[in-house]
Amino acid sequence: MNGTRETAAATTAPAAVSTAPSPARRAARFLRGMELLAIYVLIVAVVGVASDRFLSIENIANILRNTAIGGILALGLTIVMVTGDFDLSFGGAVSLLNLLALIGLDKGLNLYVVFALLIVGGVLWELINALLVVRLKMHAFIATIATMTMSKGFIFWITKGSTYYGSYPDNLTYLGRHAFLDVLPANALVFIVMAVAVYLLLDRSRFGRHLYAIGGNSEAATYVGIRVNRQRVVAYVLAGLCVGVATVTLCSKLATAPSTAGDGYQMTVISAAFLGAAAFRVGMVNVRGSILAIFILTTIENALIMLSVPFYFQFIVQALILIAAVTFVSRKNKKGAGPAIF
């Protein structure tokens, strides 16, 4: 650098420093990432006017009940995706664990022992994924396609493809079918408690900030002293916890084991995680976004039924929303296309 030129510039170095944000800034700060929430409110309002049953207490309870299992799975997937990893296998894991639980109950195992085993099983399942992805450095997509396929193999091996029925204790279905005061379904309560816990853990704790940092730039995370690989494994373990709890609620709801019990949730939950990246922390898969998105998807599904729209339209609508959301995200971060995951 030329000495004289630099000296001149150095003496006129800028002294401007930001001051307290203006009210306009504060408003912008508050409204940042709120677009999707606004759309949700709009949808609820419009459908509420169009259908008198939509905003009835039973229907709201219904939406809550239908959101719970997918919601719990979405929390788990979100934790993994926040660190930049992925999981395609949780649907298969839920199906397999549900089957094993009902076999266990049929053989006379205590209900609470079975529930505990389900949670352990979920954790072990995701530990296998973590082993493949973090230790063996497989791409998360490929590794979890493999474990998903594995789960299917085991299920068909055991059931030969038919739905499994067995005997089970009466109190199995309490969690899945009971509602407090006929308003708040028990499984929705489980979801809400977990959602709050995961939000606090990821968005309000140091641990969570570290997970987001790993997803944002794992090399930079290493350079501030975050043990990246260890935390990625912990993220999978937490996801496993969610898979376990989701299976408990599913098992309690179905009390049977169709071989594809968990599959129906798979795509909705993955869509929710991507859709959620369009809200709050725009551009990153994030907890509040995922929670909002799973509500949006189940609400729309419910609304279409309320409005007597043929069921296949829900898939088309879901797809269009996802495309719109990802386009929105990639427009917003000019640098990357879509959420920072692939």
Partner 1 sequence: MPGEPILECERLCKRFDATVAVDEVSFTLQRGDILGLVGENGAGKSTLIKLLGGEYALDSGRMVYRGRAIRWTNPSHALREGIAIVHQRPLLVESMSAAENIFLGKEDVTRLRLIDELTVGEKARALAARYPIYPGLDLQQPVAVLTAGEKQVVEILKGLSYDPEVLILDEPTASLPKEEADRLLALVRRLNEERHLTVVYISHKLGETLALCNRVMVLRNGGNVGVVKREGADRPTLIRMMMNSDLSEFYPPKASSEAGTPLLEVEELRSPTLHGVSLHVNAGEIVGLYGLMGAGMSEVARAVFGIAPITSGRIRLGKTGEVFERTHVDSMVARGVYLVPEDRHRFGLISTFSVRENTSLAHLDRCLPGALLDFARERRLVEAELAKVRVKYADTEQSIAELSGGNQQKVIVSRWLMQECSVFIVDDPTVGIDIGAKHDLYVLLRELTRQGKAVLMISSEITEIIGMADRLYTMRRGAITAELEGEAIHQQNVLENIL
Which residues here bind partner 1, judged by CB under 8 A? Answer: 1-7, 9-10, 12-18, 21, 25, 28-29, 32, 200, 204-206, 209, 212-213, 215-217, 219-225, 227, 281, 283-284, 333, 335, 340
Token pair 């979920």 is found at 122
Give the shortest CB-67-to-partner 1 separation in angstroms: 26
Comparing CB distances to partner 1, the nearer of 107 and 139 is 139
Give the shortest CB-144-to-partner 1 separation in angstroms: 23
Comparing CB distances to partner 1, the nearer of 63 and 213 is 213
Give the shortest CB-310-to-partner 1 separation in angstroms: 40
Give the shortest CB-109-to-partner 1 separation in angstroms: 36
Give the shortest CB-6-to-partner 1 separation in angstroms: 5
Give the shortest CB-219-to-partner 1 separation in angstroms: 5
Comparing CB distances to partner 1, the nearer of 99 and 213 is 213
Residues facing 179 on adjacent strands: 185
Comparing CB distances to partner 1, the nearer of 214 and 306 is 214
Burial class (CB in 10 A: 0-12, 13-18, 19+), 15: exposed
Comparing CB distances to partner 1, the nearer of 25 and 107 is 25
Comparing CB distances to partner 1, the nearer of 183 and 197 is 197
Comparing CB distances to partner 1, the nearer of 32 and 53 is 32
Give the shortest CB-120-to-partner 1 separation in angstroms: 26
Give the shortest CB-223-to-partner 1 separation in angstroms: 5
d(Cα 104, Cα 93) in Å, to the nearest integer?
16
Contact 155, 95 (CB under 8 A): yes
Give the shortest CB-200-to-partner 1 separation in angstroms: 6
Comparing CB distances to partner 1, the nearer of 12 and 308 is 12
d(Cα 2, Cα 14) in Å, to the nearest integer?
20
Comparing CB distances to partner 1, the nearer of 15 and 136 is 15
b/e 23-54 (16+ beta carbons within 10 angstroms → b): eeeeeeeeeebebbbebbeeebeebbeebeeb
d(Cα 233, Cα 212) in Å, to the nearest integer?
14
